Amino acid sequence: MQPTYSVEVQDITRRFGQFVAVDHISFQVEDGEIFGFLGANGAGKTTTIRMLCGLLLPTSGQARVEGFDIYTQTHEIKQVIGYMSQKFSLYDDLTVAENLAFYGGIYGLGRAELDKAVQNAMSTIDLSPYMNKLTRDMPVGWKQRLALTCAILHKPRILFLDEPTGGVDPISRREFWNLIYDLADGGTTVFVTTHYMDEAEYCNRLSIMHNGRIIALGSPQALKNEYQKNTIEDVFIHLVKKQIE
């Protein structure tokens, strides 16, 4: 049976003046998989994810997200995706409940729909201890949970997570990945960027980026087998060294 794809990218490039942030990359993301973009800061991961979310137009190339064209159907794309950016983007001076209500309004959810959406999200991500607390008073790990909850209120078909665990402790990072697994098990496609080597091991498939280019693509185990390495970190170091030699 032929796979179906949530994301299809062909020869996408993005330039900022003379600087090439993303350099002719191509890949596909299958429905329901956890797809990872691994690379150091500045590798082009965030630029790619912003193009796929309809926030930034490519310089050249083609891509479709859930069947929608990233040039002409950005409004439709934004209706079917969830997006969690690198920086914490919620309102520190609102309570958790007020943030959820605000983002539910952005997604066009009425009161009854919002209540149901919050209940559904809370079945995966339990924020009940903090609902009436100001967001600024929450630990960083719980802030990330809140940001994820806001991103999935409208039940997106594909969830884009840009460095979602930056700045949190290892235990919180692992708990956050358990939430990602739960979402994927429920049928959500997850596209996640990271520079943490251990997180790359959790993905179904992985793309390794360096200087705006994809230098390897495959499942973590397939990449380790191909390059005869024990860990993805070893694979990454091996490939990057080859690029700079």
Structural contact between residues 216 and 189, judged by C-beta atoms closer than 8 angstroms: no
Structural contact between residues 91 and 102, judged by C-beta atoms closer than 8 angstroms: yes
pLDDT at 1: 66
pLDDT at 169: 81
Mean pLDDT by 10 residues, the chain (245 residues): 87 96 96 93 92 95 96 93 82 88 84 83 79 87 87 92 84 87 93 91 95 96 96 94 82
Q: How far is CA 207 from the centre of its chain?
A: 13
pLDDT at 125: 81
pLDDT at 88: 65
Structural contact between residues 29 and 189, judged by C-beta atoms closer than 8 angstroms: yes
Domain ranges for the chain: 5-244
The strand pairing partners of 192, in sequence order, are 36, 161
**In the numeric block, which tokens belong to residue 127?**
């924020």
Query: What are the CA-CA distances from residue 107 to residues 17, 41, 51, 81 (Å)?
Result: 34, 31, 20, 11
pLDDT at 128: 81
DSSP designation for 166: T
Q: Which fold has domain 5-244?
A: Rossmann fold (3.40.50)
